[in-house]
Structure formats: structure tokens, C-alpha cells
Amino acid sequence: MKTANWYNASLTQLFDDLAATQNAPAESTKIRALAESLINGAIQLDLARAAQADTHFSFGSVTRTPDAPVFVENDNIHGASWADDPATPLRANEHWNTGRRATNTGIAYQLNAQGKPENPYINTGLHGRGTLGAYGPNHAVDLGMMMLQPDENGRSHFYILGIERKHDQNAPAFAGGFVEGDDIIETRTKEFFEEMISGSVPLDDANIPRAQTATDAEVAKRERAMQNGRTLPQHQIDEIREQIETALKLEQVQHNDPAFWNRLRTLVQSAMPAYCGPVIADPRNTNTSWIETDLAWIEIDDTTIAQLRGDHPAYDYALTAGDDASDILCHELSGDLIDRAYASHGPFFVYVAASYLLHKIRQGETVSPDVIQQCEDIDAYLAAETAGNPATPAPSQYAPHITP
């Protein structure tokens, strides 16, 4: 069986939890072993998924060729305010491998012949930025809201409140997004609002013309940066408009209902870490740009949601999809969910389940027999999916990290 040493850094919290529960009471031994097996199975599935990563729709018909990586950069990033300037990507006093340019794992990347970062994890068969804005790590956050509730047979089961990704064939995923200068907590709070609440907040009348003006300006800026007088396709213009409207809704809530915003931030701040490293199976990764995330989770129930909403909200808050989420669903943890999940989010769902089990052991709390059985079913699914030594992604040409 193969593994990859960056997982040691990415899953530090889970490995610390495993170490802390080594001498747990005898009745917890089975649960601890199950959590450890889930972690190992999810790692192997993540590597297998990365080896089979499809090419993101924005890449068109480009084929991954690890021996001779193909250059890919989508028009959508040219001139975008959130994207690096190819000529001068670093800000004043900024350096590669430090600050926002450092990896989550602490692994230092090398620079290629063009002075740009080289993916230290895998060889994706592509170079250039693809659809990503930054050279090197593109930092993101993901947040899992988990709950226990009866399934169709009345059994207490593990569910995760998440989204379906609008632009990725409605694949299940956690709510999340890219970090843009904010601290991790602020970014998680914004992303949870944007993807899971903003759909219930109407745009104030005064912001409707602002949204149009900002959209026109952003489209004009990007089209000026494109070559040969080309224009943005309508679906990208629609995405820009949607992002601007969502940002204005967030501004409205922060101004008109600061108490709600503080409650939301406090809730998000209580999240427990599960994973902090590369999203290795994300099809947007290239050898020049790749995504790294910081995943955490919170256990919630109906009371949590009611308290978050408050007694006199400025808006009729509800869990309603917004931004790039097509829907919000309470995902039951199952093999089918893991199979359909976007990129590495299948393994991420499993990490959250393992973290939940270990957290319960550390707190001296019991775990429902139905939840244990559910996790054992997931463990069996992972074993079947990774049987027979499945393929792993090609190692980075600059710093191979896949070891037997």
C-alpha cells in the first residue's frame, strides 16, 4: 500500500487525537480502531481519486500529460482583481514559501525555470494557472456542519449539512471558498453565509444599481486583459454578477444586523479542525497552481439554527443556497455520498466522521450503536474502493512525496 508523507502534516489534529486516545477505556478501543481505519482508508481513496482526476470544464479538451505537461490558463483569470499579475505576482516585501505563499503542510516548493512555484505534491500533467488566480498554493477554507438525526428507518445517523456545487454538475461538497486577505475564521464565516444563507437575503434596492455598475467595471477590466479583442462568455459574466451581488448582501447584513453576524462568527469560531493541506484530487490543480484548504466541523441541531437566526432578525434568514451553491442538502454519510462528492470532499467527509468519533472518546461521551454501524459500513466501502493497490498520482518532478 502506498501513502504520501504530506498527510502527516495535513492530518495533524486527527493523528494527535489518535495518540491522545491510545489509552482510552476498553469500551472505546473498537471506536478508536474504527476511526484510525477510516482515516487510512480516506487517504488511500484521496490518492486514487487524484490519479483519476478529470479535467475541469474550463480547460476544454486539454489532456493531462505528466511526461510533457500542457500549458493551460483560462481567460477568466486575466485581469481579475483576485488573480496574480503574471509579470509581478509577488506583492511588495512578499516572498515565495512565506505568509500566504506558504503551503499549509510546511513543505517548501521549488521554483521552475520561469521563476514560478512548482507543485510539491503531485505532477498533474498540466502547467500554467488553469482557472486559479495565484501561482503556488491557492488557500481555501471548508466548513462542515454535522448533525445526528433519524434516517428513513428511524436509526440515529450521521449527516453533514453541505451544498451541491452549481458549476460542477451539482456534486456534493462542504461550504467553502478561497481566502482573500481575511483570517481563517472571517473567511469561513463569509463562505458559510454566502453559500448557505445569502440566498434568503434580498438585495436592497439601493444596491441593485451598484451591482450593475460593479459588474460592468469588472467585465470591462477583464476583457481589456484578454487578447485579440475577445469578450467574456455570458456564463462568466453571470458568475461575476452573482459574486458581486453576494458580496453586497454580506455588506448589508454586517451593516443592518451586526448581532446576527456576531452570532454566526461565534458559531464558526467553535469549529474543530480536521484537515489542513492540499485538495489533492481537485481537477483545477496544475503543476504551477494548486488548492490547499483548512477544513473544520461543528456539531449542530435545530436549536443551533434557531439561536443563530435570533428573535428579531433584519432579514428572513434561512438555509438557502447562494453564490456558487445550487442547493443545500443534509447529506447522509454513505458510500454513495463519498462516490459523488466533488474532488477530495469524499475523503473529507470521512475525516470529519473520524474526528467526530475521536472527539467523543476524548470527551468521555458515548457514540450511538447506529452511528458506529454507519461508520463501519463506510469503512467497508473504503476497503472495497481501494482494494488491489489502486493507482496513485504521478509524483512531483521537483520533490517526489509519494513513498511506498
Query: Could you give the CA distance from residue 286 to residue 280 in angstroms, rounded to a whole number?
Result: 10
Query: Could you give the CA distance from residue 383 to residue 346 in angstroms, rounded to a whole number?
Result: 14
Query: Could you give the CA distance from residue 109 to residue 106 in angstroms, rounded to a whole number?
Result: 9
Q: Cα-atom radius of gyration of the chain, to the nearest Å?
A: 21
Q: Is there a contact between 171 and 208 (Cβ–Cβ < 8 Å)?
A: no
| Grid cell in block for residue 74 | 483560462
Give pLDDT, residue 232. Answer: 85
Residues of the chain with pLDDT under 50: 1-3, 57-58, 400-404
Sorted by where each begins, the domain ranges of the chain are 3-403
Give pLDDT, residue 327. Answer: 73
Name the one residue in this structure whose C-alpha cell is 469561513. Answer: 188
The 10s digit of each residue's pLDDT in 215-237 is 999 888 888 887 777 888 888 88
The 10s digit of each residue's pLDDT in 94-120 is 999 999 999 999 999 999 999 999 999
Would you put residue 195 in left (φ > 0), alpha (ψ -120 to 50) or beta?
alpha
Query: Could you give the CA distance from residue 281 to residue 344 in angstroms, rounded to a whole number?
Result: 5
Is CATH 3.40.190.170 the right assignment for the domain spanning 3-403? no
Query: Could you give the CA distance from residue 283 to residue 74 in angstroms, rounded to a whole number?
Result: 14
Query: Could you give the CA distance from residue 291 to residue 299 in angstroms, rounded to a whole number?
Result: 26
CA dihedral sign of residues 31, 33, 34, 35: positive
Other CB atoms within 10 A of residue 201 CB = 24
Own/partner pairs for 76-79, CB < 8 Å, 24+ apart? 76/131, 76/222, 76/232, 76/236, 77/129, 77/131, 77/132, 77/133, 78/222, 78/225, 78/226, 79/221, 79/222, 79/223, 79/224, 79/225, 79/226
- DSSP secondary structure, 83-124, as one string: SPPSS--SPTT--TTSGGGS-TT-PPPPB-TTS-B--SSB--
